[in-house]
Amino acid sequence: MTGRILRIELRRSAALSVALLSLVTGTVLLLTSTQFFAGRWMQLAISSRSLLMVLLPFALAGGAWLGQRDARYRVTELFASTVRPRWQRVVPTASALAVAVASAYVLVFLVAAGWVVPTAGYFPASALVVAGVGVPALVAAGWLGMAAGRAVPRVVTAPVLAVVGFVLVGLIPDLVMMANTNAGLARLGPEPSAVLLVPTFNGLDDLQTITTRVSLLQTLWLVSLAATGLLLLGAVRRRAIALAVLPAVLGGAVAVPLLPVGGTRGAAVVDPVAIELVCDNDGPQVCVTRAHTALLPDVVGPARQALGMMATKLPDAPVRAVQTRQADYWSRRDPGTAPPRHAADTIVFDTPTIDRAGRADLSGDYFLPSLLDAAWGQDCGDRSEPDEPLARTVATAWLSGQPPTPQRWWDPADIERAQSAYQALVSLPETEQRGRMAAARAAAMDCRSDGLLAILPAKKP
């Protein structure tokens, strides 16, 4: 009997409309930004969680509209006069909404997975766990919306809940992060652990994952919140309403002390499998991380070209090119920690831009200069002189045999210094050029910038 009622609710109630709206909106949003997750399962999971900024308000508003149904058709008193308990009447409707929003979320994930499977070189099982946390989040939002719609059966209830839901999941985490950041973008302190009660994430590096502990604690909190929503929906007496709040209170009391501080950065760790190297040894060795295996065929050619150009100019030139295994600065909980230094016979290059199909986007001729620039780079942490980027530009131009290209943000004095430094360097005898730049690279590998800075003329007062 209950199954039959559930099928009727799925066909005829607003649950189907909420599911279709969520499915269409979620699919459009993900498929217009496939470059952020193509070929990477964990990024698809994070993108799905970020999608909750839109889907959760839909579930809240849809639940509120569904919860107002009895009042809208003026049958509240009629149903209340029957001997059938209220919970028996609301469970099929609540179940239909839960099935609808969960199915829409899963279908969006499966559709977007079509842009991951062809180029993915690594499947972390934790990606399914991270993405799966969105299911109880949507169910909780739908049931809380139904309870609110039943309690306040007004036309404005659904849109107000949608706005409140967007503010809670879309703006509050960012506002908390901004409150812990000063005008110089330095962090004043980590975000409180309660921020992770919000089920959305604001970005993750390709080499990171969310710890299973955080996912389980978030699931515990969201399941308890869903239980509160369902109990509020079925409650009639004041005592039952008061008791309905207990699951959410207990879930929050357990989760908050156990969740890490720092928001997304605190919940993220480097995935040891994702940073394993996958190499092409048919020539000078070129390696990328396992998470970016699909990029290897695209970067091999430019990387070996850069190594060849270095070999013709530098004594003891690098013979190996490796993609960085460090998460980006913005994603680290403690960005000031210096990573281990790499060997002098290796250049470490940054991840190239990834296109909508999950392959390396090397258009614009930016990648080869960045590989040449990597010859002067070392993992030294946050230790850089103001003029060091300008000196590295001149050194990179010397490797390429072309004058330095002025950047848009350079002032005229920097342009003049770079051009005069390059002309002075190439006017030296070739042997002296090689010796001077070899010494500059040796100093850079030891995290000293004096060798590179010496090729720049002094600033004019």
Quickly state the pLDDT bin for 74 (edges 50, 70, 90): low
Which neighbouring-strand residues pair with 322?
287, 348
Q: What number is the average pLDDT over the span 376-397? A: 82
Q: What confidence score (pLDDT) does residue 361 get?
A: 92
Question: How many whole angstroms separate alpha carbon 193 and alpha carbon 10?
Answer: 38
Q: Is the pLDDT of residue 183 over 60?
A: no
Q: Is the pLDDT of residue 382 over 70?
A: no
| Burial (Cβ within 10 Å: 0-12, 13-18, ≥19) of residue 243 | middle
Q: 456 and 414 in contact (C-beta within 8 Å)?
A: no
Q: What confidence score (pLDDT) does residue 71 get?
A: 56
Cα dihedral 302, 304, 308, 314 sign: positive
Q: Is the pLDDT of residue 152 over 80?
A: yes
Quickly state the pLDDT bin for 461 (edges 50, 70, 90): very low
Q: What confidence score (pLDDT) does residue 311 get?
A: 92
Domain boundaries, the chain: 2-270, 275-377, 384-461
Instruction: Return the H-helix or E-strand segment holding 443.
Output: helix 430-445
Q: Poorest-confidence range of 25-39, 64-78, 84-98, 156-170?
A: 64-78
In the chain, the N- to C-terminal Cα span, in Å, equals: 88
pLDDT tens digits, one per residue of 18-71: 899 999 999 999 999 999 999 999 999 999 999 999 999 999 999 998 877 665
Q: How does DSSP classify residue 167? A: I
**Angle 52-67/41-50 helices, nearest 10 degrees?**
40
Q: In the predicted model, what is the mean pLDDT of the chain? A: 86
Order of all β-strands in the sheet with 277-280: 277-280, 286-289, 320-323, 346-349
**What is the phi-psi region of residue 90: left when phi exceeds 0, alpha when psi lies from -120 to 50, beta otherwise?**
alpha
Q: What confidence score (pLDDT) does residue 40 get?
A: 94
% of the chain surpassing 70 pLDDT: 87
pLDDT tens digits, one per residue of 396-436: 999 988 888 887 778 888 888 889 989 998 898 999 989 99
**Residue in the block written with tokens 């500059």:** 440
Quickly state the pLDDT bin for 133 (edges 50, 70, 90): very high
Q: What number is the average pLDDT over the span 203-207? A: 88
Quickly state the pLDDT bin for 155 (edges 50, 70, 90): confident
Question: How many whole angstroms separate alpha carbon 98 and alpha carbon 90?
Answer: 12
pTM > 0.75: yes or no:
yes
Q: Is the pLDDT of residue 73 over 80?
A: no
Question: How many whole angstroms separate alpha carbon 400 and alpha carbon 367?
Answer: 13
Q: Is the pLDDT of residue 108 over 90?
A: yes
Q: What confidence score (pLDDT) does residue 2 get?
A: 60
Q: Is the pLDDT of residue 329 over 50?
A: yes
Q: Is the pLDDT of residue 450 over 80?
A: yes
Q: What confidence score (pLDDT) does residue 459 get?
A: 66
pLDDT tens digits, one per residue of 246-302: 999 999 999 999 999 888 888 899 999 999 999 999 989 999 999 999 999 999 999
b/e per residue 342-374 (b: at least 16 CB within 10 A): beeeebbbebbebbeebbbbbeeeebbbebbbb
- 3-state DSSP of 36-90: HCCCCHHHHHHHHHHCHHHHHHHHHHHHHHHHCHHHHCCCHHHHHCCCCCHHHHH
Quickly state the pLDDT bin for 76 (edges 50, 70, 90): low
**Angle 14-31/86-113 helices, nearest 10 degrees?**
20
Q: Is the pLDDT of residue 145 over 80?
A: yes
Q: What confidence score (pLDDT) does residue 276 get?
A: 93
Which neighbouring-strand residues pair with 323?
349
Q: What confidence score (pLDDT) does residue 184 get?
A: 46
Q: 26 and 110 in contact (C-beta within 8 Å)?
A: no
Question: How many whole angstroms separate alpha carbon 101 and alpha carbon 19?
Answer: 5
